[in-house]
Amino acid sequence: MSDGARPAEATVVPPGAIIGPGQTFGSVTDKISSAVLDRVPRGWWIGFGIGLSLLMVFFTALGMLFTYGTGVWGIMIPVGWGLDIINFVWWIGIGHAGTLISAILLLFRQRWRTSINRFAEAMTLFAVACAGLYPILHLGRPWLAYWLVPYPNTMGMWPNFRSPLVWDVFAVSTYATVSLLFWYVGLIPDLATLRDRSKNILGKKIYGIFAMGWRGSASHWHRYETATLLLAGLSTPLVVSVHTIVSFDFAVSVIPGWHATIFPPYFVAGAIFSGFAMVATIAIPLRAAYGLENFITLKHLDNMARVMLATGLIVAYGYMMEAFFAFYSANLFERSMMHLRFTGPYAWSYWLLILCNVLIPQLLWFKRVRTNTIGLFLVSIVINIGMWLERFVIVVTSLATDFLPSSWGIYTPTIWDWSTYIGSFGLFLTLLFLFIRFLPMISIFEMRTLVPEAEVEGGEEHS
Amino acid sequence: MSTPARLHGVIAEFTNPTDLLRAIEEARAAGYQRMDAYTPYPVEEVSEALGHHGSALPGIVLVGGILGAISGFALQYWTSAIDYPLNVGGRPYNSLVSFIPVVFECTILFAALSAVLGMLALNGLPMPHHPIFNAPRFALASSDRFFLCIEATDPRFDADEVRRFLERQAPRAVSEVDA
Amino acid sequence: MATTALPSVRVPLDHPLRKAGPRALVVGLVALAICGLWAIFDPQQAVRSYLIGYLLWLGIALGSLAILSIHHIAGGAWGAVIRRPLEAATRTLPLLALLFVPIALGVGLLYEWAHPGVVAEDPILAEKAAYLNVPFFLVRAVIYFAIWLLIALLMNRWSIEQDVAGDPRTTRRLEMLSRATLLAYGLTVTFAAIDWVMSLEPHWFSMIFGLLVMGSQGLSAFAFAIPVLVVLMSTLQLDSAVRPQQLRDLGSFLLAFIMIWAYLALSQLLIIWSANIPEEISWYLRRSIGGWRWVATFLVVFHFALPFLVLLSRNAKQRGVILAAVGLWLIFGRWVEILWLVAPSYETNGFSLHLLDILAPIAIGGVWIWFYLIHLARHAVVPVYDPAFAEEEA
């Protein structure tokens, strides 16, 4: 993705700083908005091209699916939830970091969030867009997806509100809406900046329409800040609720391996784990490609790595509880489920998962790994893979070998399973590159508050 | 200088928040009441100096949240227990425990919508045009400049006097803004 | 990092807290004497009630250990201002280790699985016997206490060292210790919760239970430390350290822990209620028979909804008196929840509240508070060199 031609920033960012030295209001504004308004690096075209190509793969896979039905996938009885549900959970998990960074870190007054919140939120939206498609595709007749919504209909029926799948509809749509609102509200002042700086008439008009006439009035800022804090306060429990409800999809059933009360917190921790891993996976190449080392500093990477380490340990705790309670429950089916995970037909996926999610992330205990861009990049990719495997283990192994050995079956994904998965990266990357091209990937107005001269004289200084 | 028929106010441009804040304090001391400051990022001290305390927004959000909770529960109760009672695995029609997730989501959804729409409504946005955009170099208010506008609706407003007053506040420039 | 020193404020000799300690001790000893007498005639009821009281006060001490660790890792002036009240609570762990003796002696009176005869007739308990047996139970308890005492010892020693010199190396060491503490805390508390509470109904199991107990302990620690801080603030000159912002932050943390508790409790209920598997749902059925239903309702309303609504208000969080009242109320709430967790394991006929269920918590609490106040008075009530103060200044 890097176009390699740009020289590295001449200045050296001191360790522990969250913004490089010598930045002013003007330099921050210029640097970030120029990524949108001026140059389009060659790397962007390459990245966008890859995204678009994969999107074509996605459309092809969907074409097959719509033409022939879900039979093109490998799902069967007993494994009725295959790669589509795995991918749903995986994508929606990734979609947790953005709102979390924006909301919780705002409430904790963590100023280091400033430079990563915008694109982490964007990433959230695109990941949720990818995630939201899967349950709909999984329906078999996706054109009837609106049946999930409670509306008065001629059949005289209503959704069953005791079903977690209906809770999912509410949770995912609420999450998508609120994340979009949060992201858009955060963008308004920056859209005004782009409106005021754009030299392109059409750009000026479009940015102007979306900036809604923002003029930076002090009374507006005052309410704006209140609204942002309130949204943060609302989003924090919302983020937690979404993956909790996703975990209910499994946990309220009676399938061994699914029915576990630890699932809600363990899913939420896993979501944050994978979400931060994905933010790191994207941020590290991005800062190199656009020369943003002054804004996304090593301190940011270090902090993200610490969050990954902490949430990874909670996930590991979840695995340990599953194993211990399989024994402690003294329940034949719980025990055989765990035994099959260790040694059964899918044992490779379980041990690979332990390697990716438990063992390798322990490298993050070392500061040298946390602040090494390549090292952290590799670990974050391993975590992305590990979290995908976790969902594979949960979905497939639990279903493939449940209560009755006579009805056991092995699930093998087909090429259309895989191309639907790989294709969804196309949707994600296309949206991501369009975002980078047309919107400021770092919040400009919030970065201005980190500039030394932003402090009102007589006020207090920050590091 | 001949005063135009309609004037929005007189505006001064500053290069940093400290000068702006000092000018606001001076203006308040001089008895001006109708003024607004324009900054490229939120400056808490400026809002305070202009007397912006509290907000109706938390109240609006609270009401929104309560309405969301009520509608979420009402929807589920009415559909599951009254209009279409269905026995699902022997669970009661009014399955309170199962209804919690949707009640929660509706609460958050309504509250978040209230926060955003409430903020926009109280700010009078979207507003496609505002006289302040007539000010020269006002585009910099979204970049690196700080503006203070004393508005023509101020009871003590006199264009020339206000201009002289603002020029004493070490601005980068002072100009009149047409309405 | 250059740290600024704060004045070292101690609890003076004529301070009301100095008098409160002996009074608490007298109350505690009287209640303890009644419990002891009762134990002669009805040892079973006595030790069961004793477990309820013990878990209540142990929760505060262990929760303090976890909150301190979080503070040493994450920083923040909110933690610095309650550091000494929390540390004093962790220094009560030796007393709590001693107070564990009646439980160790009463294993047979508390736990069904401790009777070989019962285990022999119950295939499920026989399967679990490798874990649920008396010797291993006691060994585990010794391990838990050894770990907790070691951590409390080191954390307190280094904290006092920091007061003297403000050496950044001490700060660093505290951070390293805290990381280890959180790992050890998570594991020990999980298994202690299984041993001491979950195994009261040995057929029942819930994987989230360890986290639920951890969340409750964090809540207990905040609910206790905040009233202590408010008393210290109102009687001593702490303005240089404690600002309104920090009080508000503490209120927010209390709110957050109420929400965490509710979240974990609801997750467990919703999953078990929806799946409706006999071996799991029976635990809730026992706890919703007769009057227990109203106790459960009480928890929803008064352990969650009411304090939640009060703490939503920014004004309430800035007023020390309101915060302290909410904290004390929540400690009462903690007692109700522990009662609801423990007592129905023995009673199958609905709600019953024994006099000892009230007296035993008072007995242990009286002695515990006396011990606590001695330790609180031993050092400066606000750390002199916490780097978080310097950060917050910045």
Q: Which residues of A290-321 are buried (b: 16+ CB within 10 A; e: fewer)?
A: bebbbbbbbbbbbbbbbbbbbbbbbbbbbbbb
Q: Where are the domains of chain A?
A: 28-462
Strand duo B173-178 + B35-38: pairing: unpaired
The candidate with the shortest Cα–Cα distance to B20, out of B56, B55, B45, is B45
Q: How far does B9 lie from chain A, in Å, by closest CA?
A: 14
Give ∠ CA A190-A194-A195 in degrees, rounded to 5: 110
* Region class of B89: left (phi > 0), else alpha (psi between -120 and 50), else beta: left
Given a contact cutoff of 8 angstroms between Cβ atoms, the answer to whether A246 and A92 are in contact is yes
What span, in angstroms and rounded, lies between the C-alpha atoms of C280 and C287?
12
Task: Catalogue all structural domains in chain B, each as residue range(s) with its CATH number.
Answer: 7-51+130-178 (3.30.70), 57-122 (no CATH)
What span, in angstroms and rounded, lies between the C-alpha atoms of C35 and C30?
9
pLDDT tens-digit profile, chain A (463 residues): 334 333 444 456 666 677 777 777 777 777 777 777 777 778 888 989 999 999 999 999 999 999 998 889 999 989 989 899 999 999 999 988 888 877 877 777 777 777 788 888 888 999 999 999 999 999 888 889 898 889 998 988 899 999 999 999 999 999 999 999 989 998 999 888 888 888 888 888 888 889 888 888 888 888 998 898 899 889 989 999 999 999 999 999 999 999 999 999 999 999 999 999 998 998 898 888 877 787 788 888 888 899 999 999 999 999 999 999 999 999 999 999 999 999 989 999 999 999 999 999 999 999 999 988 999 999 999 999 999 999 999 999 999 988 888 989 899 999 999 999 999 999 999 999 999 888 888 888 888 877 777 777 654 333 3
Is the Cβ of A166 closer than 8 Å to some Cβ of chain B?
A: yes
* pLDDT score at C2: 41
Q: Which residues of A103-113 are buried (b: 16+ CB within 10 A; e: fewer)?
A: bbbbeeeebbb
What span, in angstroms and rounded, lies between the C-alpha atoms of A28 and A295?
9
* pLDDT score at C316: 85
Radius of gyration of chain B (CA): 25
What span, in angstroms and rounded, lies between the C-alpha atoms of A358 and A361?
6
Residue showing tokens 């007769």: C290
Q: How far is CA C157 from CA C67, C154, C163, C170, C225, in A?
A: 17, 5, 10, 10, 20
Q: Is B98 in Cβ contact with C276 (below 8 Å)?
A: no
Q: Is B37 in Cβ contact with A218 (below 8 Å)?
A: yes
Classify domain A28-462 at the CATH topology level.
Answer: Formate dehydrogenase/DMSO reductase fold (1.20.1630)
Q: How far does B102 lie from chain A, in Å, by closest CA?
A: 6
CB atoms under 10 Å from CB of C162, counted, come to: 23
Is the Cβ of A24 closer than 8 Å to some Cβ of chain B?
A: yes
Given a contact cutoff of 8 angstroms between Cβ atoms, the answer to whether A28 and A35 are in contact is no
Given a contact cutoff of 8 angstroms between Cβ atoms, the answer to whether A318 and A310 are in contact is no
What span, in angstroms and rounded, lies between the C-alpha atoms of A233 and C259?
12
The ipTM assigned to this model is 0.92
Q: Is C190 in Cβ contact with A261 (below 8 Å)?
A: no
- Within 8 A by CB and 6+ apart from A298, the residues are A13, A15, A371
Question: Which residues does chain A have within 8 Å of residue B52's beta carbon, measured at their own beta carbons?
Answer: 218-219, 222
The candidate with the shortest Cα–Cα distance to C80, out of C388, C356, C335, C309, is C388
Cα-to-chain-centroid distance, residue A375: 21
The model carries a pTM of 0.91
For residue A10, what is the DSSP state?
Answer: S
Provide the chain B residues 34-63 that lie in CB contact (below 8 A) with chain A. 36-47, 50, 52, 55, 57-58, 61
Residues on chain C bordering chain A, Cβ-to-Cβ distance under 8 angstroms: 76, 124-125, 127-128, 131, 183, 186, 190, 194, 205-211, 252, 259, 263-264, 267-268, 270-272, 274-275, 277, 279, 393-394
Residue ranges of alpha helices (H) inside chain C are 16-41, 43-74, 77-81, 83-90, 93-99, 101-105, 107-110, 116-121, 123-128, 134-165, 168-196, 209-235, 244-275, 278-286, 292-298, 306-312, 314-318, 320-342, 355-378, 387-393
Residues on chain B bordering chain C, Cβ-to-Cβ distance under 8 angstroms: 89-90, 97-98, 100-101
* pLDDT score at C378: 87
* pLDDT score at C351: 84
